[in-house]
Structure 1
Amino acid sequence: MIRSIVGYGIAAGLVVGSILFGTTVIFQHDVPSPAIGMLIGYAGMLLAFSLIFAGVKRHRDTTLGGVIGFWPALALGLGITLVATVFYVLAWEAALAVTAMDFGAEYAGQMVAEAERSGATGTALARARAEAAQFASNYARPAWRMAVTATEILPVGVLVSLIAAAVLRSRLHKR
């Protein structure tokens, strides 16, 4: 199972990491709207995590003789997810280093602009500015930034792992 986790995890990580790194470098000066960025990002995650289905099915069919339970299939999917997550986080860190992008400050600016667009004034606007400043400060810390980055991809991998385990599990029938 470890071999499948590592192999398919690396493949999924290379797919999602390449998409993240490539789009970040390409769009560093001409950033698309947040909605377009999220669409590209989550589509890349789903593409990469399609390898969970391939990994579970192959492991079931070649190693386990066509039989796998829900929990072992889920464990395999989650293992692939964790390996791919490491690649995703490293790709984001590499993209930030290569582009010298200050994502924390840019996002904080978007937070304040959104508050202003929604009509916040006085105390509400001051609160939005304080929250944005806190976000930028936290995002400057690598451990916090990496944890936040991991939370982008992990839920998608968990969901795909649950679906793959449910779809690909096999039940032994007594005859």
Structure 2
Amino acid sequence: MTFYDRLSNYFPDHELKHEGQMNELIDDHEAYKVHEDEDFVVTYADFPDFIFIDYLLVSPKTRGKGTGTKVLDTFKKRGKTIILEVEPPDADDTDTLKRIRFYEKNGFQRAEHIEYTRSDDDGTPHTMDVYYWSPDDVSQRSILKQMATVCREIHNFEAMKYYGRLIAEPDEVLDWQH
């Protein structure tokens, strides 16, 4: 089973990038990488001053055994801010609450001033929370700028080819909330 098959069996369609787009990111974008073994899959972009974790999947058989924490600790050792997108809490989906608790337990905090909403192909809006961890005191304005980079360079990479549109124009999908 490919890393993409593993991701597509877990992540909702509206969150998962097109397989071709992901393969082109891995092949053609110098910052974008995938690492996997039998216990996990992680795709990420390693920029000079921050890391964006696009997808992190821990295999069901190893969940709760520290695998996800070990993966995050490996990234933390690089000494850069780490950013990721997390589904907002949903009382009807207890997995959302477990994911949030996992990231918070690992020192991530929600960027409460950043609103991030993308629309899928049929126009349905999907809001994600932006979480971050940093070895230094970093402002949420800085996180917002880094998320704009993620939108431009990762989410919009070859987007016209795969979706017929840019899917994450920063001025349209990111907003600062006071």
Superposition TM-score, scaled by structure 1 size: 0.28
Q: Which structure has the greater CA radius of gyration?
A: 1
**Bigger share in helix:** 1
Identify the structure with the greater strand proportion: 2
| Higher RCO (CA 8 Å, separation ≥ 6 residues) | 1
The TM-score, its normalising length taken from structure 2, stands at: 0.28
